Amino acid sequence: MSRFFTTGSDSESESSLSGEELVTKPVGGNYGKQPLLLSEDEEDTKRVVRSAKDKRFEELTNLIRTIRNAMKIRDVTKCLEEFELLGKAYGKAKSIVDKEGVPRFYIRILADLEDYLNELWEDKEGKKKMNKNNAKALSTLRQKIRKYNRDFESHITNYKQNPEQSADEDAEKNEEDSEGSSDEDEDEDGVSAAAFLKKKAEAPSGESRKFLKKMEDEDEDSEDSEDDEEWDTGSTSSDSDSEEEEGKQTALASRFLKKAPTTEEDKKAAEKKREDKAKKKHDRKSKRLDEEEEDNEGGEWERVRGGVPLVKEKPKMFAKGTEITHAVVIKKLNEILQARGKKGTDRAAQIELLQLLVQIASENNLGEGVIVKIKFNIIASLYDYNPNLATYMKPEMWQKCLDCINELMDILFANPNIFVGENILEESENLQNVDQPLRVRGCILTLVERMDEEFTKIMQNTDPHSQEYVEHLKDEAQVCAIIERVQRYLEEKGTTEEICRVYLRRILHTYYKFDYKAHQRQLTPPEGSSKSEQDQAENEGEDSAVLMERLCKYIYAKDRTDRIRTCAILCHIYHHALHSRWYQARDLMLMSHLQDNIQHADPPVQILYNRTMVQLGICAFRQGLTKDAHNALLDIQSSGRAKELLGQGLLLRSLQERNQEQEKVERRRQVPFHLHINLELLECVYLVSAMLLEIPYMAAHESDARRRMISKQFHHQLRVGERQPLLGPPESMREHVVAASKAMKMGDWKTCHSFIINEKMNGKVWDLFPEADKVRTMLVRKIQEESLRTYLFTYSSVYDSISMETLSDMFELDLPTVHSIISKMIINEELMASLDQPTQTVVMHRTEPTAQQNLALQLAEKLGSLVENNERVFDHKQGTYGGYFRDQKDGYRKNEGYMRRGGYRQQQSQTAY
């Protein structure tokens, strides 16, 4: 309700008027939306008229203030949001900036924000602690600010060279602008806001500070006393109170701003007081240093930057004057170990105590037995430093662990009278009696196995594309050296079970490495002149093939656990396949019968089995055995989960099917990057093998509507290629294989060859093989042979007879090879033709079956399918499904092409019956 319609006394209206506040228009608001306020004192109220420059600059300063507050609390997300708003506000003020120039405060926030983001980026520990949103915002904002600051590069450089001068110029400019814009901005006492801020910003230095502080205290006392008086007198009106307060504030501001302690006496007194204080502080510091030097003479001091230097005192292990004996040291060791694993125990301090205990034991000559026992516990404490299994050891802890194990092995090799083992009880330990063999409880093999697991965890949790991964991979030489030393030690003093375990560790670090030295020696046999060099090269190290043979055969003969033997067999097969020993690898796989019960093994062994089968298939491909290569790779590639089955990563779709704990377990099973098999090479080998098998088969059974597919994935790629509306030159590996397949289907082997073997495919796939030229030569020969078969299948109905010499010239094959291929096709009843030896021609036969014969063939196939379904149902009830009949069927399929067609028909008939 308006004040004009109210009834009441003048005092009531005055009190209500004083209680109301004048509503000021916010910056950038709409004038039409503000209510019209009418007042009796309208003549006294001054309307503030502000320029467009002040409005825009105030909007900028408000945003800058918000950004600085967000910088203080490390809220990078807020910084990103406000920076985007700041850029928009600066764009609105562009016309003003063009006239007046870029404001200094804007340059200052750009420079400060860029420095702040660079500090956060370099702080690796802080980045790890950031949440996901802040980390994402940090990288985004850092890129934006670097790009944005390029337009202000010269201004930022000037600001960074003299930031103080830039701040002063900014203040002066603001003062001039505020004075020139309007006189209404001044306060009642005649001091403008900009001038007030400037005077406040000019911090009094040196002698004047204490005097100002003293004046402030006096002013506060006077204000308190005045406030007390005001509380006593409560009958004054609100208008008079406000006037008194304004007068007091004006007096306080004038006293604070205009008066300054500039007398000589005050300056001298402050100077003298400061000198006395500095002198006392220096005396106290020198006295403390002298006392500490007397306490521990010969110690070195470290300069600590920032804060009070913390003097690290070594913990006192024993009281002064205590006699150091075996019993005392063992008692102290047990005290330290009792705190292990308890809540609140400092693991780093525990490791330091144990290391100090080793020093004390060696200084007092307590014998190697005590030192070995403490060393065992130090290594165990290093492993327990990370309470979580998923976390990996820090680099400094990892290096300490390697050094400690090497020291322990040095002691054990230097003292053959020391016996260590898990079967030694603590009561039966002998740590001091030198006349008898020293016996210490502990297992060196367990420590080495844990070390190997920690190395795997380090490699799993390091970015494989960084230099850090390469640095960590260099530690594998130390790991292998330690395993070799433990192997030599256990061959002398270990049990059969321990030797098998350490042999497996050695195998796991050897099986995936290609032996280039042995390969080079095979390619260049020794000559008489270089016999000494060859002997020297052989003496450098044992061939990996001989080493694997020796280690694996020992495990085959002595091991009693199935797991170690299974892992050794798989590693041995993998190593054979890697070095192109196809027949040894194949025979070992068939004799082991691992494919029958591998599904019952644990997941790491299954991953090793999958890796071995893949390597076996690649080896068969290198030997030109495309059918064996396809069969070996079929299970892995047809699943569509090759990456997951080989332990080289998790698929996104499978992550939704498992919870967080299962995901952690799966990630711990992943194979380190340096053991990975190239998935693109694997897929290319599979698709090329499928092409060499599938294209001739499709040409032979083109009229058969029910022909079965050899490779579903290959057919899928062919369908994808056919669906494309515009066919350009192939780019990816799959497109190259599809284009080559289309050329082979037409019998054009040269085009097929150009698609399969070219610079792009060489760089992606073929150059990755050890003997790349040999593989390419084999591949060209296979393409020529299969293109010849495809050509005969496709165009046999066109020819009555064709000369073998013509075929030889067309496919650039020698005549015996052409004769051999055609003879095999005739023998296998794939090609209805006969050879005319005198004229060297192939005479085609017209033997299309009659309608009655076609019906008889269909009836025979349906009856065969019915019999097979009955057998399957019967075997399923008996619990022996897939036994004799399946083996008989598979054998039939291998020998006859007819049943390959029938296999697809039998699948169709399952749904019919």
Could you tell me the residue ranges of all domains in the chain? 53-162, 678-844
Q: How many residues does the chain have?
A: 913
Fold of 678-844: Arc Repressor Mutant, subunit A (1.10.10)
Q: What mean pLDDT do residues 136-162 have?
A: 87
How high is the pLDDT of residue 155? 85
Least reliable range by pLDDT among 34-38, 73-77, 402-406, 676-680: 34-38
Residue 79's pLDDT is what? 92
Question: Distance between CA 759 and CA 754 in Å, rounded?
Answer: 10
Lowest mean pLDDT among 182-186, 337-341, 844-848: 182-186
**CA 198/CA 790 separation, integer angstroms:** 92
| Cβ neighbourhood burial of 431 (10 Å; 0-12, 13-18, 19+) | buried
Q: Beta strand pairing status for 438-441 and 418-421?
A: parallel
> Region 210-238: what's the mean pLDDT?
43
Over 90: is that where the pLDDT of 689 sits? yes
pLDDT tens digits for range 869-882: 998 898 888 765 44
The pLDDT-based confidence of 611 (bands split at 50, 70, 90) is very high
Average pLDDT of the residues in 708-735: 84
Least confident span in 138-152, 154-168, 451-465: 154-168
Q: What is the pLDDT at residue 303?
A: 55
pLDDT higher at 794 or 404: 404
- Among the residue ranges 175-179, 303-307, 899-903, the one predicted with the least confidence is 899-903
The confidence score (pLDDT) of residue 686 equals 92
pLDDT average, residue stretch 360-387 = 85
> Would you say residue 40 has pLDDT above 80?
no
Instruction: Tell the burial category of 787 from Cβ atoms under 10 Å away from its Cβ (0-12, 13-18, 19+).
Output: buried
Q: Contact at 8 Å (CB) between 604 and 588?
A: no
The pLDDT mean for the chain works out to 76
**If you compute the radius of gyration of the chain from its CA atoms, what whole number of angstroms results?**
44
| Most confidently modeled range among 23-37, 182-196, 446-460, 511-525 | 446-460
Cα distance between residue 334 and residue 139, in whole Å: 50
For 207-216, which contacts have Cβ atoms below 8 Å and span 24 or more sequence positions? 207/261, 207/266, 207/267, 207/270, 207/271, 208/260, 208/261, 208/262, 210/261, 210/270, 211/260, 211/261, 211/266, 211/270, 212/256, 212/260, 212/261, 215/255, 215/256, 215/259, 216/256
Q: Which of 362-376, 399-413, 653-667 has the lowest mean pLDDT?
A: 653-667
Cα angle at 885 between 881 and 890, to 5 degrees?
Answer: 110
Average pLDDT over residues 179-184: 42
Check: CB of residue 203 under 8 Å from CB of residue 167: no
Asked if the model's pLDDT at residue 346 lies above 50, the reply is yes
Q: What percent of the chain has pLDDT over 70?
A: 72
| Region 700-719 average pLDDT | 78
- pLDDT at residue 210 tops 90: no
Comparing 29 with 596, which gets the higher pLDDT? Answer: 596
Supply the pLDDT for residue 911: 38
Highest mean pLDDT among 338-347, 382-391, 713-722: 713-722
What is the tally of helices (H) and strands (E) in the chain? 43, 5
Contact present, 818 and 806 (Cβ < 8 Å): no
Q: Does residue 895 carry a pLDDT above 50?
A: no
pLDDT at position 910 is 38
Residue 23 has pLDDT above 50, yes or no: no
**Model confidence at 123: pLDDT above 70:** yes
Helix (H) or strand (E) holding 441: strand 438-441
Write the DSSP symbol of residue 430. Answer: B
What per-residue confidence (pLDDT) applies to 262? 53
Instruction: Using alpha carbons, select from 872, 875, 880 the residue that is nearest to residue 907.
Output: 872
Asked if pLDDT for residue 27 goes beyond 70, the answer is no
Higher local confidence (pLDDT), 182 or 151: 151
With vertex at residue 5, the alpha carbon angle to CA 4 and CA 10, rounded to the nearest 5 degrees, is 65
pLDDT tier at 368 (50, 70, 90 boundaries)?
A: confident
Q: Is 429 exposed, middle or buried (0-12, 13-18, 19+ CB in 10 A)?
A: middle
In this predicted model, which residue has the larger pLDDT, 295 or 30? 295
The larger pLDDT score, comparing residue 813 to residue 388, is at: 813
Confidence of residue 98 (pLDDT cuts 50, 70, 90): confident
pLDDT for the residue numbered 902: 35
Rounded to an integer, the average pLDDT of 550-574 is 91
Question: By percentage, how much of the chain surpasses pLDDT 90?
Answer: 20
Of the pLDDT bands very low, low, confident and very high (cuts 50, 70, 90), residue 506 is very high
Residue 849's pLDDT band (boundaries 50, 70, 90)?
low
Terminal-to-terminal C-alpha distance of the chain = 90
Residue of 425 and 309 predicted with greater confidence? 425
- What's the order of all strands across the beta sheet hosting 841-844? 801-803, 841-844, 833-836
Residue 24 confidence (pLDDT): 43
Lowest-pLDDT choice from 239-253, 279-293, 574-588, 795-809: 239-253
Higher pLDDT, 911 or 568: 568
149, 113 Cβ separation under 8 angstroms: no
Identify the weakest region by mean pLDDT among 212-226, 489-503, 559-573: 212-226
Please report the DSSP string for 232-243 in residue order: H---S-HHHHHH
- CA distance linking residue 161 with residue 159, whole number of Å: 5
| 674 DSSP assignment | G
Name which of 91-95, 170-174, 517-521 the model is least confident about: 170-174
241: pLDDT strictly greater than 90? no
HEC assignment per residue over 830-874 = CCCEEEECCCCEEEECCCCCCHHHHHHHHHHHHHHHHHHHHHHHH
801-803/841-844 β-pairing: antiparallel
Q: List pLDDT tens digits, range 613-663.
A: 999 999 999 998 999 999 999 988 888 888 888 888 887 765 566 777 888
Range in 495-499, 501-505, 851-855 the model is least confident about: 851-855
- Predicted pLDDT at 47: 65
Poorest-pLDDT segment among 45-49, 438-442, 512-516: 45-49
Residues 6+ apart with CB under 8 A from 161: none
Q: How would residue 415 be classed by pLDDT, with cut points 50, 70 and 90?
A: confident
Checking if the pLDDT of 684 tops 50, the result is yes
